[in-house]
Amino acid sequence: MITPSTHSIPASGSFCKVAAGVYWLRMPLPFALDHINLYLLEADEGLYIVDTGVQSEHSKTIWQQVLNALNKPVAGVIATHMHPDHCGLAGWLCQQFKVPLYMSALEYYGAIAYFSPNPGADTSVEVDYFVRAGLSQAEAESYVSDHSRYAESVAPIPLAYQRLQAGKSLTIGNRQWQILTYGGHSPEHVCLFDAEARLLIGGDQILPYISPNIGVYSREPEAEPLTDYLYSLQQLKQLPADTLVLPAHNQPYTGLPTRCDELTSHHLKLLDRLLKHCATPQSLQSCLPKLYRRTLTGQMLFFALAEGLAHLNHLVKAGRVTRSLDEQGVYRYQACETN
Ligand SMILES: [Zn+2]
């Protein structure tokens, strides 16, 4: 069991103190997951903002109110990873306050790439990704990437940044934050760990009640993010058991080793279901009902395919499933007899 912290959850758009010099801000999101937790770290020179919310007038107004209430300058903006709810206003905040953006290299360049429409590039590789998953040609074409959506929810990423690297640390006020980076949910997700206070800013890497999306997308169809993610859980499990985790969604909690075990067993169960289902050759699309009960369309289907493929790629690379291309150009997955 994990134990939620005793701090009461701040109302949407407001904040509270969760540790000395650490504030927890609850920012609304216009999605089914209706909020994100952002953190502010206090130092003599000002506040370091950790994650920002998506770009919207409403989020900007909340930032102005919060920063007025704290009455301290902003000293820097840290984005744990490139997803719009985390770095949506990073560029705007950096520009407003003329402060640096801190990100890991893969997340920074990933964010820049998502902004680039790249006109004239061959989109057939994106169509192939969906056709190989079992979608019709017409369905596949409807999913060809639309960069405008990312650009709508993310203010332009600053043209310069300061790189966060695993093994280094950031000193902010009285705290020394170790920089930890992990793959799985995004390529080089940053977590910050204060070993002395046993405080972990976890971002989306390790959430208390939901499993972060682990997906393989058309940009890198042979990626193995689930392998990376399971490895990250083994590493996070090594942190002290009484560490207070400050996650990006839901509420702070202790019980990190338990949560690592729960998330590991969640993914192992999904792998097991897929192995059973692939006793006869199956397409990715035909595997999805084994992973999700609800009917999948639109964006839900897009993310479900990505998550399903992450699990199948993991099994293929582990030699537990074989993959072959059928006459329709669809990948068929079949469990190996040695399973
Ligand atoms: Zn994320």
Find the 336 Cα to ligand 1 centroid distance in Å: 33
Which pLDDT score, from 0 to 100, does residue 71 have? 95
| pLDDT for the residue 149 | 76
- pTM here is 0.96
The confidence score (pLDDT) of residue 147 equals 65
Q: What is the rounded average pLDDT for all residues in the chain?
A: 95
- Cα of 281 vs centre of ligand 1, distance in Å, is 32
Query: Do 173 and 21 touch, CB atoms closer than 8 A?
Result: yes
Which domains, and CATH codes, for the chain? 3-253 (3.60.15.10)
74, 99 in Cβ contact below 8 A?
Answer: yes
For residue 13, pLDDT over 80 is answered with yes
From the CA of 30, how far away is ligand 1's center (Å)? 15
The arithmetic mean of pLDDT across residues 239-244, rounded, is 97
| Least confident span in 123-137, 138-152, 170-184 | 138-152
Q: Quick one: average pLDDT of 73-84?
A: 97
Supply the pLDDT for residue 118.
77
Query: How large is the C-alpha radius of gyration of the chain?
Result: 21
Express each pLDDT in 31-62 by its tens digit. 888 999 999 999 999 999 999 999 999 999 99
| Confidence label for 151 from pLDDT (cuts 50, 70 and 90) | confident
Res. 150: pLDDT tops 90: no
Calculate how far, in angstroms, residue 185's C-alpha sits from the geometric centre of ligand 1. 6
pLDDT at 98: 98
Task: Tell me if 274 sits within 8 A of 312, measured CB to CB.
Answer: yes
CA 309 to chain centre: 17
Q: What is the pLDDT of residues 308-334, one digit of tens each?
A: 999 999 999 999 999 999 999 999 999
Residue 335 has pLDDT above 80, yes or no: yes
Percentage of residues of the chain with pLDDT beyond 90: 89
- Closest by CA to 274, choosing from 287, 258, 286, 265, is 287
DSSP 8-state secondary structure symbol assigned to residue 14: -
Ligand 1 geometric centre to CA of 264 (Å): 18
Determine the distance separating the centroid of ligand 1 and the alpha carbon of 157, expressed in angstroms. Answer: 17
Question: Which of the 8 DSSP states describes residue 213?
Answer: P
Gap from CA of 57 to ligand 1 centroid (Å)? 21
First-to-final CA distance of the chain: 31
Q: How far does residue 248's CA lie from ligand 1's centre (Å)?
A: 9
Token pair listed for 120: 């004239």
Structure confidence at residue 338 as a pLDDT band (50, 70, 90): confident
Q: How confident is the model at residue 300 (pLDDT cuts 50, 70, 90)?
A: very high
- Residue 104, pLDDT above cutoff 90: yes
Residues in contact with 156: Cβ distance below 8 Å, sequence separation at least 6, in sequence order = 91, 115
Q: How many Å apart are CA 302 and CA 308, to the nearest integer? A: 10
CA distance 99 to 48: 10
User: How far away, in angstroms, is 214 Cα from ligand 1 center?
Assistant: 9
Rounded mean pLDDT, 279-305: 95
For 248, residues 6+ apart whose C-beta sits below 8 A from its C-beta are 36, 37, 51, 80, 85, 86, 202, 203, 204, 207
What pLDDT, on the 0 to 100 scale, is given for residue 61? 97
The mean pLDDT of 264-273, rounded to a whole number, is 98
Q: Quick one: DSSP state of residue 209?
A: S
Distance CA 209, CA 338 (A): 35
Query: How many whole angstroms from 204 Cα to the centroid of ligand 1?
Result: 5
pLDDT tens digits, one per residue of 111-121: 998 877 777 88
CA of 195 to the centre of ligand 1 (A): 24
